[in-house]
Amino acid sequence: MKILVTGGCGFIGSAVVRKAIARGIEIVNLDALTYAGCLDNVASVANSPLYSFEHADICDRAALDRIFKTHKPDAVLHLAAESHVDRSIDGPLAFLNTNIMGTGTLLEASRAYWEVNDRPAGFRFHHVSTDEVFGSLGETGEFTEETPYSPRSPYSASKASSDHLVRAWHETYGLPVVLTNCSNNYGPYQFPEKLIPVVILKALAGQPIPVYGKGENVRDWLHVEDHAEALLTVLLNGENGRSYNIGGDSEARNIDLVRMLCEILDRLRPAAHPHADLITYVTDRPGHDQRYAIDPTRVRTELNWKPSYTLAEGLEQTVDWYLQNERWLRALQNRPGVNQRLGKVA
């Protein structure tokens, strides 16, 4: 089997690429290498005969057509996106371009390839999306696959649009698709502008650890290796036209998550004062969704997937990885356009 993965040099995409190659699946990694893409994330598999890389933009139809023709993939696993909510507030148009027009262009290239090859039954277009398309929850309730869409940030609105496009290509043209909507990921190789690596970097530098508002926003946390496993499970076994919510069974308030990270750092990298002393509350993000929670019943009962990490185990493994890989962390931290964002956290 050969999968065309888009965004395979990013955080989640690279986890999927590493896992798929370990399973003997052939991978074509298509990535534009934006500020968030990093070839080091796939360095461990780059010499595998199962791996090839295509430096291309999903908005470039001619490049996509050439890549489909050259590699003849059996499936597309689409992760390439602009992914950071704060950036979408500062500059929404890049999100509309990549997440909406890019997905539309990729759908058209996939459809052309699928049609020209007499619509092979096994072909799949798997679109990777977020639970943020469903909006914000109060203190109770969970998102199911039937929850109406109610995106509230430019990022989530662009992802919601791309989900609608994928369903439309299925209904209108019959393109075989599956969709997944998952909660906040964490784990190794996450770009250092997202909450967990930012907390670790700030703590190591002895600088204030910024927490939005009162830190009471609740997120469900999913370890990236569990997500990668779920994505391969849905791609290979999911039902055509169906969507699956994927969650980590690990709800936490932001402030509690940050305190857990500080306690782990106190043990693994003790400092003169407890790291939690560095926690500093900062002005809240505009339109900050209060709570996300996932009902993962469908993927559990129909496809027999469940997360393997508890939050405590996953955070310990993650902090340990960042401490062992400080060189990777600091190389990305020093990329142009990144440092100034570290005062803001998701």
Residues that bind ligand NAD (CB under 6 A): 6-7, 9-13, 31-34, 36-37, 57-59, 79-83, 98, 102, 128-130, 159, 182, 184-185, 191
Q: Torsion-angle region of residue 135: left (phi > 0), alpha (psi -120 to 50) or beta? A: left
* SS percent in the chain: helix, strand, coil, step 5: 45, 15, 35
Residue whose CB is less far from ligand NAD, 107 or 278: 107
Residue whose CB is less far from ligand NAD, 11 or 143: 11
Q: Are 104 and 161 in contact (CB under 8 A)?
A: no
Least distance to ligand NAD, CB of residue 326, Å: 19
Least distance to ligand NAD, CB of residue 268, Å: 23
Of 54, 82, 86, 132, catalytic: 132
Q: How far apart are CA 199 and CA 334, in angstroms?
A: 16
289, two tokens: 């969704």
DSSP conformation class of 318 = H
Least distance to ligand NAD, CB of residue 261, Å: 16
220 exposure class (CB count in 10 Å sphere: 0-12, 13-18, 19+): buried
Q: Are 63 and 28 in contact (CB under 8 A)?
A: no
Would you call 212 a catalytic residue per the annotation? no
The count of C-alpha atoms lying within 13 angstroms of the C-alpha of 289, restricted to the half-sphere facing its C-beta, is 25
Q: Are 74 and 102 in contact (CB under 8 A)?
A: no
Of 26, 31, 86, 131, catalytic: 131
Least distance to ligand NAD, CB of residue 128, Å: 5
Pairing of strands 279-282, 243-246: unpaired
Name the residue whose CB lies closest to ligand NAD: 10
Q: Are 73 and 28 in contact (CB under 8 A)?
A: yes
Residue whose CB is less far from ligand NAD, 184 or 243: 184
Pairing of strands 251-253, 218-223: antiparallel
Least distance to ligand NAD, CB of residue 176, Å: 20
Q: How many residues does the chain have?
A: 346
Residue whose CB is less far from ligand NAD, 18 or 275: 18
Would you call 155 a catalytic residue per the annotation? yes
Neighbours of 88 (CB within 10 A): 22
Residue whose CB is less far from ligand NAD, 9 or 75: 9
Of 51, 54, 113, 155, catalytic: 155
Residue whose CB is less far from ligand NAD, 54 or 316: 54
Least distance to ligand NAD, CB of residue 35, Å: 8
Would you call 51 a catalytic residue per the annotation? no
Q: Does the CA dihedral 215-217-221-227 come out positive or negative?
A: negative
Neighbours of 293 (CB within 10 A): 19
Residues annotated as catalytic (active site), given as ranges: 131-132, 155
